[in-house]
A and B are shown apart, each in its own frame.
Chain A
């Protein structure tokens, strides 16, 4: 009857999102007076999960599962849920978790609520609050099925440390053969991804050309942030589409979003509005983004950003 949480790892290390969903699962388990079981696939060391409230880890180690396969991974989590007689499964909002969750929902005949931003307001009926209308409204959703799946929105709940320890148990699920074959993976591994980032630094057409992107990257480096761009920038080919954030690009739900030279078209705002704090740097005081932002600097990116980088370096050195 424990709460089951899928804790994602990459190259053997847990993603930050794994600790956030573990924290959320622990809080739900507290509401229900039960424990937390995590299922992890090919993580080198599962003990860090204990720091975020996980009591037991079902640990799968299988070299054939090196590359993500949504169908197989969903099936592993389904088998873990059945083994634990779980009624509540918690997943993150990473690309992979959003990919497998609907398959898991069908497998477990479970209702699934995605983009959930708070703890359940009630556990019977099971009621959660989620982002809807592209962050322009919240929907209060009730899950009616016996088994329930909750997808937690990134950075919505945060990390909650607890001083427990997690026992680890080898888990050997049945793995069905798949006819899906990964042909190539093209990924920058040395940079913080938009999905995992606390801070995102994003550039728009105001930067005038791809040759000026060093400014965005340097500011991101100082802050340990991911870099992103507006749609015109990716349409112009200055930056790859994978960095485009907005309604038709990647969603952003960071703690801090810094928009430089981005006017703030409604489609852009729709994709980044879930970020908690927004800072805008723009020469045009009438840019619509200032209405959606928390802090703003009216000024030229080419003078403001270098000055900000120097001041942030000094600030970081003091910390």
Chain B
């Protein structure tokens, strides 16, 4: 099995979100970047396939050189090789096209991506790379087993879950459930040392016109203070929800 794990380089959940250049660019000042949480569940599942089934695991990212520490972290967790497509990740469709080329050129038969990144939340890259490479696709994937050329995948649906069988090549939009949070791995010193020796290949991007472009960002209006209601006066809470908020 030749696995590609797509890694998005995103601001840590606790980051303050600010914008610069007239609110057109995300302000990276003082922001710590991490492997996108949904991708990290997929990377950890890929490690299981490597250790139990002898899979080869490559990680890939579309971004500038500033994203390399995130790829090195994925190598330190145990991936065998890394690929960086050297262009800014401006929109989901362009990222998908860049990754589709990596997948076709590398002959990957299982691609694991996160269901969405926690920065732009587009939720489109996994499905688009499946469409572009003509592979099968499972979104919101919470369980994955592969035997030869056949996969059994479980996905979350509204109100429950569904299990399907299908053939490789396959693209997964993964999330928590592929592995549990307690199974996520923190790189150890040996992993970090070994990661320095592993190949990180930088490739030139495809030329592409963006299908969508980000024009501007806005921050939500500051929220008013919470209205506290005494626990002895719950009629007031019902009154507020009915007459003021109009939600019941």
Q: Which residues of A contact B (CB under 8 A)?
A: 68, 70-71, 94-96, 98-103, 105-107, 109-115, 127, 129, 131-134, 136-145, 179-189, 191, 193-196, 198-199, 223, 235, 241-242, 247-250, 255-256, 266-267, 270, 276-277, 279-280, 290-300, 303-304, 307-308, 311-312, 315
Contacts and interface: CB of A to CB of B under 8 A. Distances in A.
Contacts of A183: 152, 163-165
Interface string B211-233: 11111111110011011111100
A191 B159 CA distance: 8
B234 A311 contact: yes
Contacts, number: 264
A199 B248 contact: yes
A297 B176 contact: no
A181 B161 contact: no
Nearest to B212: A111
B93 interface: yes
A270 B19 CA distance: 18
A223 B13 CA distance: 32
Given A183-B164, A241-B176, A308-B234, A144 B217 contact: no
Interface residues of B, number: 82
B123 interface: yes
B214 A279 contact: no
A304 B228 CA distance: 13
Nearest to A112: B124
Contacts of B14: 266
Contacts of A131: 121
A121 B229 CA distance: 38
B78 interface: no
B77 to A, nearest CB: 18
B166 A94 contact: no
Nearest to A122: B215
A72 B51 CA distance: 35
Interface string B114-130: 00001111111111101
Given A132-B119, A195-B158, A141 B212 contact: yes
A180 B163 contact: no
A198 B246 CA distance: 12
B217 A138 contact: yes
B142 interface: yes
Contacts of B132: 106
Contacts of B92: 102, 112
Contact of B245 (A184, A294, A312): A294
Contacts of A290: 226, 228
Given A141-B214, A277-B245, A187 B176 contact: no
A236 B142 CA distance: 18
A13 to B, nearest CB: 14
A7 to B, nearest CB: 15
Contacts of B231: 297-300, 303-304, 307
Interface stretch (B53-61, B68-76, B192-200, B236-244): B236-244
B136 interface: yes
11 contacts: A103-B131, A136-B219, A180-B166, A185-B162, A186-B160, A187-B162, A194-B158, A249-B176, A277-B241, A279-B237, A294-B227
B127 A199 contact: no
Q: Is the interface of B mostly helix, strand, loop or mixed?
A: mixed
Interface in B145-177: 152, 155-167, 173, 175-177
B210 interface: yes
Contacts of A101: 124, 127
A115 B13 contact: no
Interface in B4-61: 11, 13-14, 17, 19, 37-38, 41
B140 interface: yes
Contacts of A105: 93, 124, 127-128, 131, 211
Contacts of B139: 70, 95, 98-99
Contacts of A110: 211
Contacts of A247: 13, 37, 118
Given A137-B19, A144-B209, A242-B159, 12 more contacts: A68-B157, A99-B155, A101-B124, A102-B96, A102-B128, A103-B128, A111-B212, A136-B220, A137-B219, A187-B157, A193-B159, A279-B241
A35 to B, nearest CB: 26
A205 B220 CA distance: 29
The 8 closest A-B pairs by CB, nearest first: A102-B127, A106-B131, A187-B160, A299-B231, A111-B211, A193-B159, A256-B247, A99-B139
A312 B241 CA distance: 11
A139 B226 contact: no
B17 A297 contact: no
A143 to B, nearest CB: 5
Given A144-B209, A298-B231, A223 B248 contact: yes
